[in-house]
Structure 1
Amino acid sequence: MFTSPGPELFQLGPFALRWYGLLIALAVLIGLNLSSWLARQRDLEQGLISDLLPILVLAAVIGARIYYVAFEWRNYQGAWWEAFAIWRGGIAIHGALLAGTMAVILFCRWRRQSFWDVLDVLVPSVALGQAIGRWGNFFNSEAFGVPTDLPWKLFIAYPQRPAVFADADYFHPTFLYESIWNLLVFALLMTLFLQGRKRRINLPAGALSCVYLLAYSLGRVWIEGLRIDPLCLGGQPPFCDGGLRIAQLMSLGLMGLAAVGLWWLYGRKRALPDLGSTRRGDPA
């Protein structure tokens, strides 16, 4: 059984160190070192990831918050300033992916780098960062699933429960499911990257990014179906009655794009259009 100790690691006067922020910082630090190492394996420009990372993190955080607030605006009407309180949670990974991708495109155009080569060295760190960051949901007692009596159930205190489940004590720890899934995706990406580097498999530029989108989205479609706090299109949580779950729609769309990309690379045996510069590095 899981029970959150609370969102704050410690508080000293007006200063509070929150688990969510600490985990995000840890994910960024690990991602910087991992992606820098992968970039060296692909013979990318030295210091490229260090220059990109601040821009990428800022764009991803802003995009994730805007995406979430846009679909949950009803909760901020009359208190719009709460939309800036990102430390209280409320970010969406698909918003981070969209804004982060746009930032990488613009950065690659500025630095005349191959977009797909750069993205391929970033996606393993993204998957690992998601696995780490999901534990922030645990400490915040958010992003959990429907009630359950499974041995690995998650206890949610009464104030954090939706009214419809006020009498339930234990819920699916969907943060744990997604964290484990992202670790598996990370392991898959690293295996493919290293095997491609050794020329044991054909891994053209962009293939690793397509595998990430396909693998992550496949798990998200299933896990999102368990959650009781989804972003809804035309409906209301916990089940989006009469509407659709935005994350599932986005995941299905990304799976379709990834499948087309892999077909283009391996079916038609053609390189993906470079969204950065016209220069392309060697495939892994």
Structure 2
Amino acid sequence: MTPAASALAPLFIPSPGQNVWHLGPLPLRAYALCIIAGIIVGMVVATRRWRARGGTSDGLESVVVVAVPAGIVGARIYHVITDYELYFGPGRNPVDALKIWQGGLGIWGAVALGALGGWLVARRRGIRFPALLDACAPGIAVAQGIGRLGNWFNQELFGRPTTLPWGLEIAPRYRPQGYEQYATFHPTFLYELLWDVAVVAVLLVVLDRRFRLGHGRVFALYVMLYSLGRFWIEALRIDTVNEIGGFRLNNYTSLITFVGAALVLVWLSRHRPGREAVVEEGAPGAGPGEPDEPEQADEPEQADEARETAPSASEEPSER
């Protein structure tokens, strides 16, 4: 192709032509690999932050072992409930609801059930759960962004048609009914990935480092920021979902979680300032930050000491 022809050629993001590879009889699905990669990177980020705050790797790992599987189950349950018509009803096979490798995970269900599982373990291990959430929040955002690459490989959950240079090329067999004549669409997977990276930068570089947040405030900010981005990204998508009053169900979920997290953040800022000094019972050392309740001086004892050291009014000073 000549340089002039290349300049006139349309710009777009190509979609992968393959989303599964076979290692003998074992299928390696890109969707699952992206989720696994996200979990690994997120775990690295969370481990570094947790240890910096005074926690132990063993404590975090004991929570993650339960929280990650619970989160995946919760993500699938949320998806099946909110898109039940894909699996139940005439012409549908309920068994397909178990085929997680075909895609379909809801982050809201992952956070909810994963947090529940993590809280149960943290309670038994003597771990301050709000502090753990703060340590894990940026890692969760990183994992979400990497996991979204699975949608790119599956050519799914893209946005409305667009002719912008970063439009995502979708193969004809993946284009939804009514959009067969369009070739490029908004790459919502990329929008969410970039938004998640921005969320991590705001949490780590701007807010947490400057204000030394604790007691769950980092996690509350993560929920707020992610919900804000998910609201407008969700509005771009054209995949068939349940709607109420013209808005997609996930838009309502984003709005509710944003408001709820904002209220929690305000309450924590008023009643739980500073950062936890001890985040895990039995840890070798306390993490940086302010103690939960500042130690109060023993005023009676100090007063007695002052009276003992002060000269009596009846005594003459040795020198004038």
The normalised TM-score by structure 2 is 0.77
Could you tell me which residue of structure 1 aligns to residue 265 of structure 2? 262
Structure label with greater radius of gyration: 2
**Contact 1:146–1:227 (CA<8 Å) still a contact in 2?**
yes
Distance 1:137 1:186, change over 3 A: same
**Contact 2:159–2:185 (CA<8 Å) still a contact in 1?**
yes
**Contact 2:223–2:258 (CA<8 Å) still a contact in 1?**
yes
Could you tell me which residue of structure 2 aligns to residue 186 of structure 1? 200
Deviation at 1:112, TM superposition (A): 2.4
Could you tell me which residue of structure 1 aligns to residue 254 of structure 2? 251
Is 2:180 the counterpart of 1:166? yes
One-letter amino acid matched to 2:224: L
**Contact 2:74–2:112 (CA<8 Å) still a contact in 1?**
yes
Deviation at 1:7, TM superposition (A): 4.5
Question: What is the CA–CA distance in structure 2 between the aligned matches of 1:182 and 1:251, rounded to whole Å?
Answer: 15
Could you tell me which residue of structure 1 aligns to residue 118 of structure 2? 104
Is 2:101 the counterpart of 1:87? yes
Question: What is the CA–CA distance in structure 2 between the aligned matches of 1:44 and 1:82, rounded to whole Å?
Answer: 41
Is 2:220 the counterpart of 1:206? no
Deviation at 1:246, TM superposition (A): 1.6
Query: RMSD of aligned C-alpha atoms?
Result: 2.4
Deviation at 1:88, TM superposition (A): 0.8
Is 2:65 the counterpart of 1:62? no
Question: What is the CA–CA distance in structure 2 between the aligned matches of 1:208 and 1:28, rounded to whole Å?
Answer: 19
Distance 1:109 1:233, change over 3 A: farther
- Structure 2, unpaired ranges of 5+: 1-11, 290-320
Deviation at 1:160, TM superposition (A): 1.0
| Number of residue pairs the alignment of both structures matches | 268
Select 1:4's aligned residue among 2, 15, 22. Answer: 15
**Contact 1:205–1:283 (CA<8 Å) still a contact in 2?**
no
One-letter amino acid matched to 1:253: I
The percent identity for this pair of structures is 38
Select 2:37's aligned residue among 7, 16, 26. Answer: 26
**Contact 1:230–1:247 (CA<8 Å) still a contact in 2?**
no
Deviations 1:110-161 (A, max 9, x none): 2222110011111111000111111110000001001110000011112111
Deviation at 1:54, TM superposition (A): 2.1
Could you tell me which residue of structure 2 aligns to residue 15 of structure 1? 26
Three-state SS of the structure 1 residue aligned to 2:211 is: coil
Select 1:71's aligned residue among 82, 86, 109. Answer: 82
Deviations 1:57-80 (A, max 9, x none): 101111111111112221212311
Three-state SS of the structure 2 residue aligned to 1:164 is: coil
**Contact 1:230–1:246 (CA<8 Å) still a contact in 2?**
no
Question: What is the CA–CA distance in structure 1 between the aligned matches of 2:121 and 2:180, rounded to whole Å?
Answer: 48
Deviation at 1:29, TM superposition (A): 1.4
The normalised TM-score by structure 1 is 0.87
Could you tell me which residue of structure 1 aligns to residue 55 of structure 2? 44
One-letter amino acid matched to 2:81: A
Question: What is the CA–CA distance in structure 2 between the aligned matches of 1:124 and 1:230, rounded to whole Å?
Answer: 30
Question: What is the CA–CA distance in structure 1 between the aligned matches of 2:226 and 2:150, rounded to whole Å?
Answer: 19
Question: What is the CA–CA distance in structure 1 between the aligned matches of 2:242 and 2:36, rounded to whole Å?
Answer: 29
Deviations 1:10-30 (A, max 9, x none): 223432211111111111111
Distance 1:231 1:60, change over 3 A: farther
Three-state SS of the structure 2 residue aligned to 1:16 is: strand
Question: What is the CA–CA distance in structure 1 between the aligned matches of 2:30 and 2:21, rounded to whole Å?
Answer: 9
Question: What is the CA–CA distance in structure 2 between the aligned matches of 1:137 and 1:204, rounded to whole Å?
Answer: 34
Question: What is the CA–CA distance in structure 2 between the aligned matches of 1:228 and 1:283, rounded to whole Å?
Answer: 46
**Contact 1:8–1:19 (CA<8 Å) still a contact in 2?**
yes
Question: What is the CA–CA distance in structure 1 between the aligned matches of 2:57 and 2:167, rounded to whole Å?
Answer: 46
Question: What is the CA–CA distance in structure 2 between the aligned matches of 1:269 and 1:72, rounded to whole Å?
Answer: 39
Could you tell me which residue of structure 2 aligns to residue 132 of structure 1? 146
